[in-house]
């Protein structure tokens, strides 16, 4: 591939968001070898689904679940991602761009996808801490930080984004008030009747709604202290610890304007998405096309296809804006609108109101065609209405019964989907049609929504079309479709994780090939989903017999370091129970100086992280660390990560047991062990719990009588406290119970399942029956764990550094980068 670099054109994308990366995906589909691609992103993260910020705020999703293009995806497609650096200058004469940190990239074609900026009300107090917008992951993190210790939030703006923010904060336990300038909520998407139903629903959830409310200022401590309240122009004051502005967006045209590119409200583009400079294209929320700017996903996806066509030179399509629908992502509220839902003097309405059920439908007709629709409380027929609207279909006899949905005009049990034509759009977020989904189900033998999502991206964004996707699976598979059946491991097999594990052990299957053959895998070599899982299942089932397949591991585990956004790596040596020595610290300092490592960070797990290590330096870094007695901390793996401790009774006047010694002993016993997911332990020397043991996978808290053992905690976005497993009196018991618990988890949990969801699935009582109530089984699990440790407690850094063959792979890989 490097040999082709000289003849490839250089494509630079300014903006690592949904619009820019969708265009890159479309380009890769059309001409995967045409460009060397460089992407600049102002945010530090890989491309994520901005539509899903609301579920992220609400705690329904984790950040990992909303990532659209992982760092591995960029690497696999040879895309240079420069994250965390905004472009500040375009030199059109020399065709270069310059980033805020000084990075310069030259281009043959430049794609601007700079998005939009949230509008900030120019009011007194806007700069106070706690007054913010809702536009990015960083905004969500800041909102959650403020929400944790505080209880009052005010959202300025009762539109789509504002209400989704209000919903998320409400679920986080805050008392939420919504301040809206207009008489009704979501006036751009709902008529007055639907808006009143929405307001009633939100009020029932405990939110306070202020309509016809004009914000005057934000007050607080002194002139620039944290916000304490919102002052309305009518004199009312609403107390607030957090104020979120969601009052609209403006296309981000600053960069384009500074380069002399023609702009109106947005960057001006023609039907090919080309700017006034033929070498520069623009797409997404930053553009203006025929005096119109766009903020919804569906038209932006159409822009991406058009831009990719012209950038690749494969077609001469032009951007024609199509109708777009809107849905509110608030759990328990069904809302859809599209087209001219307000109507005018040339239209007439068909209405359905059911106040008791909270259902409202309004269909707006011009002549004999549907031109607008509003559905509230029941959106099952929204897709059908939307397709009628998009197609401009003559309604004829449908007019008399269409308000009741397709059920009234067809005897087919799957009426809505059956009546939809093949080109009907099922997933508006990603532009996926009915025929695309049905063809994929048949061609790839898909049997679950997850399969369809992975292959077509249908339901991968807001998720509102999941029911339609499931319906198409039922239509395509007939009686073979079982939505409540066990979820298959992946598209390669119809077997679930539990069945695969059972067959491996029960059938004596000791190689990946044997598993695939015995279970009739659909693919000869498996896939990126099943191979890592099978590798772990075989490794845990047959310690000492199965040979670990490094190529079936994720990239971080293959290179024994964490890849960073700039292509460098982080190295974290193990520090037993959070302890270290002067000699170890000197060795780390020497390594940092010797290899010019740019950043050193003390982690939350009581270790030291060296960030920015070049791939070609990894082996030498490990050798120097090994020479000082340091081994891998497995910070990159689905493995035992850390055992966090407090100083305990040795130093602390409150300590009742030696938690540090206990933590060191635990880590010495468990390090090197591989698991379905990462595992973290902690030991606190007294019930004050300074080591935060109650949010760890296995937590130990010292008492006067001994030790309390806790399991199943998680300190991530979905915070979960541990549950008490049992109480023990001796250090030996702590080690035995911990190892038995980890062995049970290793042998029974599903790959990529943390201990928290595993315990939620099997319930604590089940774990107690195995570990606490059955001493014989506990001892057997403990001994099995110790036996497996004989084969895994070897330092991978030392192995790699000592092997000339393995060592050469790092220098060879570095030469390819």
Band (813; pLDDT cuts 50, 70, 90): very low
Residue 414: CB atoms within 10 Å: 14
What is the arithmetic mean of pLDDT over 189-210?
Answer: 88
Q: Which residues pair with 724 in a beta bridge?
A: 710
Burial of 2 (0-12, 13-18, 19+ CB in 10 A): exposed
Residues with Cβ within 8 Å of 222's Cβ and at least 6 positions away in sequence, in order, are none
**Same structural domain for residues 531 and 595?**
no
Residue 80: CB atoms within 10 Å: 17
Q: Which residues pair with 330 in a beta bridge?
A: 333
**Same structural domain for residues 548 and 566?**
no
- Report the distance separating Cα 745 and Cα 374, nearest Å: 49
Question: In the prediction, which pLDDT does 463 show?
Answer: 65
Q: Which residue has the higher pLDDT, 606 or 393?
A: 606
The two beta strands, 706-711 and 723-728, are antiparallel
Q: Which residue has the higher pLDDT, 357 or 605?
A: 605
In terms of residue numbers, what domain contains 525? 497-553
**Same structural domain for residues 144 and 205?**
yes
Q: Which CATH number do you get for residue 479?
A: 1.10.10.1100
What is the arithmetic mean of pLDDT over 36-47?
Answer: 96
Closest CA relative to residue 526, chosen from 540, 539, 511, 507:
511
Q: Which residue has the higher pLDDT, 92 or 52?
A: 92
Q: Does 805 have pLDDT greater than 50?
A: no
Kindly report the backbone phi and psi dihedral angles of residue 352, in degrees, each rounded to the nearest multiple of 5, phi listed first: -135, 125
Q: Which residue has the higher pLDDT, 505 or 607?
A: 607
Distances (CA, A) of 315 to 300, 307, 737: 18, 10, 65
Q: Is residue 125 part of a domain?
A: no
Please, are residues 16 and 41 in contact by the beta-carbon 8 Å criterion?
A: yes
Question: In the prediction, which pLDDT does 812 show?
Answer: 39
Boundary-marking domain end, from 510, 525, 553? 553
Q: Does 814 have pLDDT greater than 80?
A: no
Band (356; pLDDT cuts 50, 70, 90): low
Q: Does 26 have pLDDT greater than 70?
A: yes
Polymer length of the chain? 817
- Report the distance separating Cα 685 and Cα 652, nearest Å: 8
- Report the distance separating Cα 159 and Cα 164, nearest Å: 9
Q: For all residues of the chain together, what is the average pLDDT?
A: 89
What is the arithmetic mean of pLDDT over 403-424?
Answer: 67
Q: Is residue 322 part of a domain?
A: no
Q: Does 582 have pLDDT greater than 90?
A: yes
Residues with Cβ within 8 Å of 371's Cβ and at least 6 positions away in sequence, in order, are 339, 340, 347, 364, 365, 389
**Same structural domain for residues 22 and 98?**
yes
- Report the distance separating Cα 586 and Cα 62, nearest Å: 38
Q: Does 5 have pLDDT greater than 70?
A: no
Question: In the prediction, which pLDDT does 482 show?
Answer: 64
**Same structural domain for residues 448 and 459?**
yes
**Same structural domain for residues 255 and 239?**
no
**Residue found by looking up tokens 């059956």 in the block:** 418
**Residue found by looking up tokens 């197609």 in the block:** 391
What is the arithmetic mean of pLDDT over 235-260?
Answer: 96
Question: In the prediction, which pLDDT does 316 show?
Answer: 73
Cα Rg, the chain, nearest whole Å: 29
Question: In the prediction, which pLDDT does 1 show?
Answer: 39
- Report the distance separating Cα 53 and Cα 462, nearest Å: 10
What is the arithmetic mean of pLDDT over 20-24?
Answer: 97
Question: pLDDT tens digit string along 132-163?
Answer: 999 999 999 999 888 877 789 999 999 989 99
What is the arithmetic mean of pLDDT over 189-211?
Answer: 88
**Same structural domain for residues 232 and 268?**
no
Q: Does 19 have pLDDT greater than 80?
A: yes
Question: In the prediction, which pLDDT does 717 show?
Answer: 61
Q: Does 2 have pLDDT greater than 60?
A: no
Give all strands (DSSP E) within 558-621, no chain letters.
562-563, 569-571, 599-602, 608-613
Question: In the prediction, which pLDDT does 119 show?
Answer: 92
Question: In the prediction, which pLDDT does 416 show?
Answer: 65
Boundary-marking domain end, from 597, 627, 657? 627
Band (3; pLDDT cuts 50, 70, 90): very low
The two beta strands, 287-289 and 267-269, are parallel
Band (815; pLDDT cuts 50, 70, 90): very low
Q: Which residue has the higher pLDDT, 242 or 812?
A: 242
Domain count of the fold of the chain: 6
Question: pLDDT tens digit string along 431-477?
Answer: 788 999 999 998 988 888 878 888 888 887 666 677 788 888 888 88
Please, are residues 654 and 663 in contact by the beta-carbon 8 Å criterion?
A: no
What is the arithmetic mean of pLDDT over 239-253?
Answer: 95
Question: pLDDT tens digit string along 254-312?
Answer: 999 999 999 999 999 999 999 999 999 999 999 999 999 998 888 898 999 999 999 99
Q: Does 205 have pLDDT greater than 60?
A: yes
DSSP 8-state code for residue 510: -
Q: Which CATH number do you get for residue 675?
A: 3.30.413.10
Boundary-marking domain end, from 521, 538, 553? 553
**Same structural domain for residues 478 and 590?**
no
Q: Which residue has the higher pLDDT, 792 or 566?
A: 792
What is the arithmetic mean of pLDDT over 606-632?
Answer: 94
**Same structural domain for residues 459 and 532?**
no
Share of the chain above pLDDT 70, in %: 94
Please, are residues 162 and 211 in contact by the beta-carbon 8 Å criterion?
A: no
Distances (CA, A) of 266 to 255, 256, 287, 768: 11, 9, 4, 61
Closest CA relative to residue 429, chosen from 465, 382, 454, 470:
465
- Report the distance separating Cα 507 and Cα 518, nearest Å: 9
Question: In the prediction, which pLDDT does 816 show?
Answer: 33
């Amino acid at each position: 591939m490097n040999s082709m670099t000289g003849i490839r054109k250089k494509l630079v994308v300014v903006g690592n968001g949904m619009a820019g990366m969708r265009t890159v995906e479309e380009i890769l589909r059309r001409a995967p070898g045409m460009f060397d691609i460089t992407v600049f992103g102002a945010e530090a993260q890989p491309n994520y689904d901005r539509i899903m910020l609301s579920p992220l705020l609400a705690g329904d999703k984790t950040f990992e679940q909303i990532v659209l293009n992982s760092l591995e995806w960029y690497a696999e497609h040879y895309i240079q991602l420069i994250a965390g650096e905004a472009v500040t200058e375009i030199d059109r004469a020399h065709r270069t761009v310059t980033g805020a940190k000084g990075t310069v990239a030259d281009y043959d074609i430049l794609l601007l996808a700079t998005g939009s900026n949230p509008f900030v009300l120019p009011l007194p107090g806007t700069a106070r801490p706690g007054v913010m917008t809702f536009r990015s992951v960083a905004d969500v993190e800041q909102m959650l930080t403020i929400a944790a210790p505080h209880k009052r939030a005010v959202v300025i703006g009762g539109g789509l984004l504002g209400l989704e923010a209000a919903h998320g904060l409400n679920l986080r336990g805050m008392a939420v008030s919504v301040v809206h300038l207009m008489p009704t909520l979501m006036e751009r998407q709902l008529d007055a009747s639907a808006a009143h139903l929405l307001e009633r629903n939100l009020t029932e959830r405990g939110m306070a709604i202020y309509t016809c409310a004009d914000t005057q200022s934000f007050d607080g401590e002194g002139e620039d202290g944290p916000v304490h309240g919102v002052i309305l122009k009518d004199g009312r004051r609403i107390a607030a610890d957090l104020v979120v502005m969601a009052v609209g967006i403006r296309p981000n045209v600053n960069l384009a304007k500074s380069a002399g590119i023609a702009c109106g409200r947005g960057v001006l583009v023609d039907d090919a998405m080309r700017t006034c400079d033929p070498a520069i294209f623009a797409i997404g929320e930053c553009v203006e096309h025929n005096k119109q700017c766009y903020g919804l996903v569906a038209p932006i996806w159409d822009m991406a296809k058009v831009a990719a066509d012209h950038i690749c030179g494969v077609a001469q399509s032009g951007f024609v804006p199509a109708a777009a629908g809107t849905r509110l992502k608030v759990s328990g509220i069904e809302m859809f609108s599209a087209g001219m839902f307000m109507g005018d003097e040339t239209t007439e309405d068909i209405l359905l109101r059911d106040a008791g059920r909270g259902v409202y439908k309004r269909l707006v007709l011009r002549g004999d065609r549907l031109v607008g629709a509003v559905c509230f409380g029941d959106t099952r027929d929204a897709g059908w209405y939307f397709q009628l609207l998009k197609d401009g279909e003559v309604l004829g006899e449908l007019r008399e019964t269409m308000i009741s949905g397709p059920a009234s005009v067809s005897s087919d049990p799957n009426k809505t989907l059956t009546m939809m034509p093949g080109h009907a759009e099922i997933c508006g977020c990603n532009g996926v049609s009915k025929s695309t989904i049905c063809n994929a189900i048949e061609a790839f033998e898909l049997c679950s929504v997850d399969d369809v999502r992975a292959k077509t991206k249908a339901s991968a964004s807001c998720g509102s079309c999941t029911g339609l996707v499931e319906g198409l699976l039922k239509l395509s598979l007939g009686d073979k479709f079982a939505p409540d059946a066990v979820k298959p491991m992946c598209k390669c097999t119809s077997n679930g994780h539990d069945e695969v594990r059972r067959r491996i052990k029960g059938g004596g299957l000791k190689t990946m090939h044997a598993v695939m053959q015995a279970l009739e895998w659909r693919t000869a070599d498996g896939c990126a989903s099943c191979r890592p899982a099978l590798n772990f299942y075989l490794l845990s089932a047959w310690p000492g017999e199965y040979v670990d397949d490094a190529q079936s591991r994720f990239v971080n585990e293959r290179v024994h370091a964490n890849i960073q956004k700039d292509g460098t790596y982080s190295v974290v040596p193990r520090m037993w129970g959070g302890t270290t020595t002067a000699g170890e610290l000197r060795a780390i300092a020497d390594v940092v100086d010797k290899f010019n490592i740019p950043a050193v960070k003390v982690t939350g797990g009581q270790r030291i992280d060296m960030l920015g290590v070049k791939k070609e330096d990894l082996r030498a870094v490990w050798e120097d660390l090994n020479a000082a007695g340091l081994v891998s901390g497995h910070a990159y793996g689905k493995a035992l990560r850390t055992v966090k401790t407090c100083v305990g009774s040795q130093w602390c006047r409150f300590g009742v047991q030696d938690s540090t010694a206990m933590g060191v002993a635990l880590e010495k016993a468990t390090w090197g062990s591989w698991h379905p997911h990462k595992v973290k332990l902690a030991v606190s020397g007294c019930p004050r719990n300074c080591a935060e043991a109650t949010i760890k996978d296995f937590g130990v808290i010292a008492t006067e009588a001994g030790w309390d053992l806790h399991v199943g905690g998680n300190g991530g976005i979905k915070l979960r406290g541990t549950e008490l497993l049992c109480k023990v009196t001796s250090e030996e018991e702590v080690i035995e119970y911990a190892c038995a618990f980890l062995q049970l988890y290793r042998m029974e949990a599903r790959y990529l399942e943390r201990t928290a969801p595993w315990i939620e699935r099997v319930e604590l009582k089940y774990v107690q029956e195995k570990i606490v109530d059955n001493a014989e089984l506990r001892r057997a699990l403990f001994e099995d764990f110790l036996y497996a440790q004989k084969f895994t407690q070897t330092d991978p850094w030392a192995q790699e550094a000592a092997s000339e063959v393995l060592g050469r792979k790092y220098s060879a890989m570095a030469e390819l980068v």
